[in-house]
Amino acid sequence: MEAVKCMKKGKNIKVILRKPIDYYFEHGMISTRALNICRSCGIVTVGDLIRCYHKGNLRKLRNCGPYTENEFKSVMGLVNYNYAVQLLEKLDGYDDMPAKLKDIIADAYKRPLLDFSLDCIKLFYDTFGDSKAFYTYFFCDQQKLAKRFNGRRSNELKHYCYQLLTEIHSTLREKGLDDTYTYELVVIARAIIWFSDESFAAELEEKDPELKVRRQALVIDYEDRTKKHFRGYWEADIKKLVMPTYSKALALLTMKDDEIRKIWYNLPCWRYNSYDLSLVIAELRETLFLYESIGGDELGKTVVMNNYRYLTEKQAWFVADFHKQFGYYPMFYLLREYLMKTTDREEWVFAKATGIYDGHPMSFEEIGKELDLGKIRVRQLFNCSMRYLFRDKEWHHYQFRTALVVTEVDDMYRSVVENEKVSIPFESFAIICTDGFMMKLATVNDMRFLINYRLNISDIAKVCSVVKARNNRIKGEANSLRLVDLLKDIPEDKRKLYMEALPVIINKAYGLVVDEAGNIVLPPKGVDVVYELTQILRKKGKPMSFDELQAALIKKCPAAKDKSSEYIRGKILQSETIKPIGKSMRYSLTEWEHVYKGTIRQLVADILNEAKRPMHIDKIMKKVLKAYPKTTKRNVVSSINQDEARFICFGDGLYGLMEKTYSKKYEGMKVKLRFDARG
């Protein structure tokens, strides 16, 4: 009876009709049998129960006997039965509404809002010809409202409509009509508007800061409830349907029971009852109406109490004020306060091991000496405490369950130490974050990351080491490295996870960009001597001497560390793109096919090999000067005379090759090369 009085006090009838049956099971008003009957028949709220009883179907339910029926009647006795039946017969049409509700909407419609321009007011009345048209647009067919509302191009008109709905909402609350179906329609219409259009909601949040609190609190609440109810069979299709996003929450809010069941049974997991999904929606709807009925500091405190149910009311006020001032909840501070007052041995071990008391963590051996326990038992207690704290106590300030990589680890730790005034070592902070949310701490390039437990730290380190080595290599121009080539040793089922996580890590640790095709862009680094010399030769368009190349390199790259002749000459000798021209200390590009790169002696041999008869030195010089413009006739003759095994002189400046056979005409003209050179 005390529970009944407690629930009747300060509660209007509509609130009770929206309450899920599970709430009354938790308060001991119905038994497990009654709860299972409701779950099997899709009875989610008290309103569903009264509707079923009014149609005469309650006693027809399987396993529902006289004792169970009396339990149900005790719940239905919380409200005036006849009035509840009238409320449950929802008024969808404007003509069916009570006169006083019509008057409220009509008065709000006729009274122009002076904060808006005349063009906006005129556009409003042109769009909605009367109050009935306005009601029909916003309060009926809610599933299509978001699409129609987003189609409006005028943001000022959107603000005008939202402000008008807000005034109707306030008037209904002031006159005590917040237990009517019209009031529910106003709340749902407002929620649809700021749930569906993100850009418009951002504009509204600037004028109404409480709206942002409501939106964030509803999504967090929705996420917690879905994970709670679907923990046993959180399959991919169910997760896709109820994933905590604004649009999914909005779509579910506006669904009817038969539509929910239809969607549910179309899933591959149809063997499960849709009761859980209906319960999530009922609880979400109840939370929405709760937040819409309060404001100011009370709203902040209520949000905290809903999200952190283990806090006292005094602590909840502190958290709400802290959030209002700094923009986040000081949960590490509260966690320490909670642990310092607890007497549970598991939590005491956790607090001592992490050092959250005084910033000095203790080892398992030291804790074991104080408790007279072995190291293995202390570790077991520590692991038990983590599960107890993070699940049952709903400690969830840093939510890492869905993230593959968390890059702001150091920033979060700094905020805990500086803003929340909690003296805790980073290692303990990492333990709290990773063990509680199945993540691991990885260090890349002296930066710390939290990575999902499905990723291997050694694989990430291996890939990053290759990227670092390739990035540090001296290169004159940008090139790329395919990320998928570095993941050949990773199993295919996990490769997709690495392709999502590694770009974030590589960008944060090395400042490198991974493009849409999965290529790691490596920018130029240092002075690549070979590359720069190649560019100099390509720009010049003709061979250059070593001195010319060295001077041009120093002028182009004054920041080069080593500009000595030995260093530059060594780089040229190792290069495949730059080749010397014989022994003349002149250099050209390998790609230049028009440039002869052999010695003068080899060039003369090639010229004589192509000729059918001996050639005069003057004709030879014409061809030699094309490749070696700075050489002289004396140098060419001297070079030929030094190679008696290859060349032969026929006198009068005629030269040929020893290996070739000439006509008898030239046989008598043969002379020794050294004699011809002296002559």
Per residue in 343-368, pLDDT (tens digit) is 678 778 888 888 877 778 888 899 89
| Strand, coil or helix: 643 | coil
Residues 262 and 275 in one domain: yes
Quick check: is 16 in a domain? Answer: yes
Residue type, 116: F
How crowded is the C-beta side of 533, counted as CA atoms within 13 Å?
Answer: 33
E strand or H helix that includes residue 366: helix 364-371
- Cα–Cα distance for residue pair 170/108, rounded to 1 Å: 11
pLDDT tens track for 536-569: 888 887 778 888 888 888 888 877 767 788 888 8
User: Which two three-digit tokens encode residue 355?
Assistant: 């050092």
User: Looking at the DSSP assignment, which residues form a beta bridge with residue 521?
Assistant: 480, 513
> pLDDT digit string (tens) for 101-115?
888 888 888 888 877
Q: Are 242 and 228 in contact (CB under 8 A)?
A: no
End-to-end Cα distance, the chain: 138
Q: Which of 464, 488, 522 represents a domain boundary (last residue)? A: 522
Beta bridge partners of 545: 586
Q: Is residue 180 within 8 Å of 101, Cβ to Cβ?
A: yes
Rounded Cα distance between 190 and 492, Å, is 46
Residue pLDDT, tens place only, 442-486: 889 888 888 888 889 999 999 999 998 888 877 667 788 899 889
Which two tokens mark 642? Answer: 């030094």
pLDDT tens-digit map of 604-637: 888 888 888 888 888 888 888 877 777 888 888 8
C-alpha 83, offset from chain centre:
50
- Is the residue at 13 inside a domain? yes
| Per-residue pLDDT tens digits for 281-335 | 777 777 888 888 887 888 888 888 777 666 778 878 887 887 777 766 676 777 7
Domain that holds residue 123: 99-207
Give the pLDDT confidence score for residue 463 in this predicted structure.
92
Q: Are residues 393 and 489 in the same domain?
A: no
Report the DSSP beta bridge partners of residue 544.
587
Is there a domain that residue 598 lies in? no
Q: 298: which DSSP letter?
A: H
Give the pLDDT mean for 144-148.
68
Query: What are the backbone angles phi and psi of residue 646, rounded to the nearest 5°?
Result: -110, -40
Q: How many CB atoms lie within 10 A of CB 129?
A: 9
From 448, 447, 444, select the one nearest 429 (Cα to Cα): 448
CATH value at residue 401 = 1.10.10.10
Tell me, rounded to whole angstroms, the distance of Cα 205 from its chain centroid.
24
Residues 64-108 pLDDT 10s? 877 787 888 888 888 777 777 776 766 556 676 778 888 888 888
Beta bridge partners of 444: 447
Tell me: do 375 and 481 sit in the same domain. Answer: no
Residues 104, 144, single domain; the answer is yes
Predicted pLDDT at 266: 63
Residue type, 596: Y
Residue 50 contacts residue 88 (beta carbons within 8 Å): yes
Share in percent of the chain as helix, strand, coil (round to 5):
60, 5, 30
Q: Is residue 301 part of a domain?
A: no
Which one-letter DSSP state was computed for residue 454? T
**Which of 377-391, 426-440, 489-503, 559-573 tops mean pLDDT?**
489-503
Give residue-wise pLDDT tens across range 470-527.
Answer: 888 776 677 888 998 899 888 888 888 899 899 999 988 888 888 888 899 888 776 7
Residue 152 pLDDT > 70: no
Q: Is the pLDDT of residue 673 over 80?
A: no
- Considering 192, 207, 222, which residue would you say is the last residue of a domain? 207
**Average pLDDT of the segment spanning 164-191:** 81
Q: Is residue 596 part of a domain?
A: no
pLDDT band at 401 (very low <50, low <70, confident <90, very high): low
User: ∠ CA 430-435-437 to the nearest 5 degrees?
Assistant: 100
Q: Tell me the C-alpha distance between 253 and 247, whole Å.
A: 10
DSSP letters for 409-463 = HHHHHHHHHHTS-----HHHHHHHHHHHHTEEEEEETTEEEEEETTS-HHHHHHH
**What proportion of the chain, given as a percentage, has pLDDT over 70?**
77
3-state secondary structure of 443: strand
Domain count, the chain: 7
- Given 240, 275, 293, the domain boundary residue is 293
